[in-house]
C-alpha cells in the first residue's frame, strides 16, 4: 500500500531512489532503541479521510507501530500508540526530552484548555 502510494503521488522520489541519488539525512544513534522516530502524515486525510502515524527505530529500521486512523489530532490516541508499544516492549526510553515527556505535556495542555 505504501509502495503504491509513492509510485502514484511521489514518482520523482521513486526515480531518485532507484537511481541511488536520494539525499539522506544523517543523524547519530548510540544503538538499538536509542531513538524512536515518531511521525504523522495527514496527506491522505483530505482525500481519503485517513491519517498515518508511525513509530520507527531508525538505527535498525524496525517499525514499532504503523497506525492508520481517521485522525492524528487527538493527543490521547497518539500517546496510546506509544504506551501500547512500551507495554509490549516492557521498557521505555529514558531521555528526559523524548516523546513520552512531549506527549504528556501536550495531553496536559489540552486537558487544561478543555472545560
User: Does residue 67 form part of some domain?
Assistant: yes
Q: Which three cell numbers stand for residue 51?
A: 491519517
User: Does residue 13 form part of some domain?
Assistant: no
Residue 48 pLDDT > 80: yes
Q: Which domain holds residue 88?
A: 31-113
Give 70-91 pLDDT, tens digit per residue: 988 888 888 899 889 888 988 7
In the three-class reduction of DSSP (H, G, I as helix; E, B as strand; rest coil), residue 1 is classed as coil
User: Does residue 81 form part of some domain?
Assistant: yes
User: Does residue 59 form part of some domain?
Assistant: yes
Residues 6+ apart with CB under 8 A from 6: 13, 14
Average pLDDT over residues 14-43: 78
For the chain, what is the domain count? 1
User: Does residue 76 form part of some domain?
Assistant: yes
CA nearest to 72, candidates 92, 98, 44: 44
Confidence tier at 13 by pLDDT (50, 70, 90)? confident
Amino acid at each position: 500500500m505504501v509502495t503504491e502510494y509513492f509510485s502514484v503521488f511521489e514518482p520523482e522520489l521513486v526515480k531518485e531512489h532507484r537511481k541511488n541519488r536520494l539525499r539522506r539525512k544523517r543523524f547519530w544513534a548510540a544503538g538499538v532503541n536509542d531513538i524512536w522516530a515518531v511521525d504523522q502524515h495527514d496527506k491522505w486525510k483530505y482525500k481519503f479521510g485517513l491519517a498515518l502515524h508511525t513509530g520507527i527505530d531508525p538505527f535498525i529500521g524496525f517499525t514499532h507501530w504503523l497506525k492508520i486512523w481517521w485522525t492524528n489530532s487527538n493527543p490521547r490516541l497518539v500517546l496510546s500508540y506509544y504506551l501500547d508499544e512500551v507495554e509490549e516492549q516492557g521498557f521505555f526510553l529514558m531521555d528526559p526530552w523524548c516523546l513520552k515527556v512531549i506527549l504528556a505535556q501536550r495531553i496536559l495542555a489540552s486537558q487544561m484548555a478543555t472545560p
